[in-house]
Chain A
Amino acid sequence: QQKVQQSPESLIVPEGGMASLNCTFSDRNSQYFWWYRQHSGEGPKALMSIFSNGDKKEGRFTAHLNKASLHVSLHIKDSQPSDSALYFCADDTNAYKVIFGKGTHLHVLP
């Protein structure tokens, strides 16, 4: 069964620091991924998608995809306390059935 594993479960970074979140997937046919962010008490919101090998940058956020190593990551530069949230990696390759990882709790300390 197609799986998405996220690490670490929890991450603490200082304000202004770099946060790196990782995701591995099991299906070599997987090719389209989203990152979602969920603040406490809210529903998840899409951050960015990536489907090509390499990096994709949107502001302070950079997603990286390496299909050969079955790995996708999200890097947050200059982390802010408002970035504190639960982050999900999602495999959106198979139409209609998005597979989510269990999430990484990011805590940015002022």
Chain B
Amino acid sequence: EAAVTQSPRNKVTVTGGNVTLSCRQTNSHNYMYWYRQDTGHGLRLIHYSYGAGNLQIGDVPDGYKATRTTQEDFFLLLELASPSQTSLYFCASSDRGTGQLYFGEGSKLTVL
């Protein structure tokens, strides 16, 4: 079973704060994704990457940066966090051969 690990699992910060969410996959997958999940909106794609050093913009990228440092590691950065970014964030990886996404357990972020 493919493994995707996220940290931290819970984070509370204040408006204007700096947050980094981390994701590591041990599946040797090329593609990695960051989604946010909000009630009434389902899963929305923030950024994705198809390899180290690559970054692609998703559907809701405003206020977020991302960086893929290695094939295994993908980071989501919120440099000036706002209350609207309070959400549950999921990282996922995929083998584009099958298209199946493997999700982490989620990181709950609260911006006060």
Contacts and interface: CB of A to CB of B under 8 A. Distances in A.
B99 A34 contact: yes
A49 B99 contact: yes
Interface in B82-104: 90, 92, 96, 98-104
A44 B90 contact: yes
A75 to B, nearest CB: 21
B43 A100 contact: yes
Interface bracket on B: 20 to 34
A103 to B, nearest CB: 5
Nearest to B100: A46
A77 to B, nearest CB: 23
Interface of A: 32, 34, 36, 42-46, 49, 88, 90, 92, 95-98, 100-103
Given A102-B40, A102-B42, A96 B103 contact: no
Interface of B: 4, 31, 33, 40-45, 48, 50, 56, 58-59, 90, 92, 96, 98-106
A98 B101 contact: yes
Given A36-B101, A44-B90, A97-B58, 4 more contacts: A32-B99, A43-B105, A46-B100, A98-B33
B103 A44 contact: yes
30 contacts: A34-B100, A42-B106, A43-B4, A43-B92, A43-B103, A43-B106, A44-B43, A44-B90, A44-B101, A44-B103, A45-B103, A46-B100, A46-B101, A49-B99, A49-B100, A90-B101, A95-B96, A96-B31, A96-B48, A96-B56, A97-B45, A98-B33, A98-B45, A98-B99, A98-B101, A100-B43, A100-B44, A101-B42, A102-B40, A103-B42
Nearest to A6: B42
B42 A100 contact: yes
A95 B31 CA distance: 11
Nearest to A9: B40
Contacts of B102: 46
